[in-house]
A and B are shown apart, each in its own frame.
Chain A
Amino acid sequence: MKKTPFLIIGGGPAGLSCAIQAASLGQHVTIVERSHTLGGQLVKQTHKFFGSEKQYASVRGYKIAEKLIQEYIKLQDKIEVLLDATVTGLYPDKVCTVVQNEVYFKIQASVIVVATGASEKFIAFENNDLPGIYGAGAVQTLMNQYGVLPGNKIIMVGSGNIGLIVSYQLMQAGVKVVSVLEAAPSIGGYLVHASKLRRLGVPILTGKTILRASGTDCVESVEIVDLDDSWNPIPGTEQIIEVDAVCVSVGLSPMHQLLSMAGAKIVYIAELGGWVPKVSTHHETTMEGIFACGDLSGVEEASSAMVEGRLAGLFATKKLLKSVDGFDQIYQDLKSQLDGLRSGPFGYKTRVGLLQMKEEESC
């Protein structure tokens, strides 16, 4: 059995940031990442990020991944990375099982930080399983990582930040976005993203949703419909639109499954994305020595994931060492960064969700 004092499951922005923080405090850490690169969702993001300088504002997502990887390389004597390695099980005694290149082995850790991120939600509509219907992440992966067009004429379902950003990226790649559909009465994401799209002549249609997709072996058209104030389709408002691809971008769901398996308490907080591990303000789950951070502990932006990762790295290090030099200063800096990111109107949902998490803590 392989042993490591500090195990991090997931090498995305939260996991990498956690490793960098812990390693800079002298810890030896092991990152287990299931894909063949570090960086998580950042590697396929071509847009410039928001936030402040500390969260690499105005830097393109894939460049942020490169910067994080450079920081990891500076500390690589303390950071071990296992790529193409999928954690298949997590146990209460802080053992996890891993499959890497068809080899199965176990890792025993003293502390574990789980940073598995979130997976895409879906919506139910007739024939939603036709080829040519993709999650937004898949569209970004195809376009930005592999240089392959998802289609030539696409409709986007969902006007949150991801839906708006991916629509813009589709236009950049030469794909015609016929429209962005939003079931709610107003646009979900940042208006600057919406305005960028409108300049390109892409309509954003609120109060509409997709009723069904049609096609023989792949999608050839969709039927959309208006919604009333109670989210019911209004008969007579159906419209058929010819497309060869549909992109569904309706939110993310934290990937809590490993923690659930280990026996950590999972609670339902809609504002954080649904089922999330119950964590203390120190990011520790109900399993002692097992922490959670990033989208796993509440769906936000990558800028928040990076800061949360550092916080989890700090707290997990303190768990191991009992005390950390300069703890207060590091903690205050990270906390004020996170508070700053969350203090505006777009942080409201997260603040509400975190309050509910705090109430769970006192239960």
Chain B
Amino acid sequence: MLEKNGVPSREQVISCFPEPSVLIKPKAVIECYQEIPCNPCETSCPFNAITIGDDINLRPTVNQVLCTGCGICVTKCPGLAIIVSSIKQDMAIFKIPYEFIPAPLKGDIWNALNREGKVISTCKIISVQDLAKQEKTKLITVEVRKEFLYEFITIGCPDER
């Protein structure tokens, strides 16, 4: 249970995703399950696709029509609770935040981890973006088999495992 061990249920995760048909283009998926006083996702979105409102405790909602999946909110979120997701044929493409060393390099094959930190598959590193405005949170684009759409959340360095 989320409140007991920090891991959301599959249903909770799916409730944050748009319909798979929408994911032909990359879209933000925000896993913010609690009301906490926080709104940088809303204020940072250049397309006004994220809404929280005057009460900054409210949970954010994403307008999937306006969202372009640019990933700015991914590195802005202080809780690292946002990923960008899309589906391309048999693969799911994610943009995730990453704040560890060693960082992967483009083309690397790393471990794909689920929300319990377990290795579920491997993934390919498509790109690593580290712009100054991201304030040391890297934006990593990875490709993993689409059957892991609702399981994949982050990457793990293969040497450590």
Contact = CB atoms under 8 A, between A and B. Distances in A.
Interface of A: 47-53, 57-60, 63, 171-172, 185-187, 190-204, 206, 303, 340-347
Interface in B8-56: 8, 31-40, 43-44, 54-56
Interface centre among B43, B56, B57 (most CB of A within 10 A): B56
B135 A199 contact: no
A59 B79 contact: no
Given A49-B78, A58-B76, 11 more contacts: A50-B38, A51-B56, A52-B38, A53-B43, A58-B78, A58-B135, A187-B5, A198-B5, A344-B36, A344-B57, A346-B36
Contacts of A342: 37
Given A57-B78, A63-B135, A190-B79, A195 B36 contact: no
A-B pairs, top 3 by smallest CB distance, nearest first, are A201-B117, A192-B79, A344-B57
A118 to B, nearest CB: 20
A346 B56 CA distance: 12
Nearest to A346: B36
A157 to B, nearest CB: 16
Interface of B: 2-8, 31-40, 43-44, 54-57, 76-81, 99-100, 113, 115-118, 135-137, 153-154
A48 B73 CA distance: 13
B43 to A, nearest CB: 6
Contacts of B44: 58
Nearest to A164: B6
B81 to A, nearest CB: 5
Interface centre among B37, B44, B55, B153 (most CB of A within 10 A): B37
A345 B35 contact: yes
Given A197-B6, A198-B7, A192 B36 contact: yes
7 contacts: A53-B39, A57-B78, A186-B3, A195-B7, A198-B7, A199-B154, A204-B6
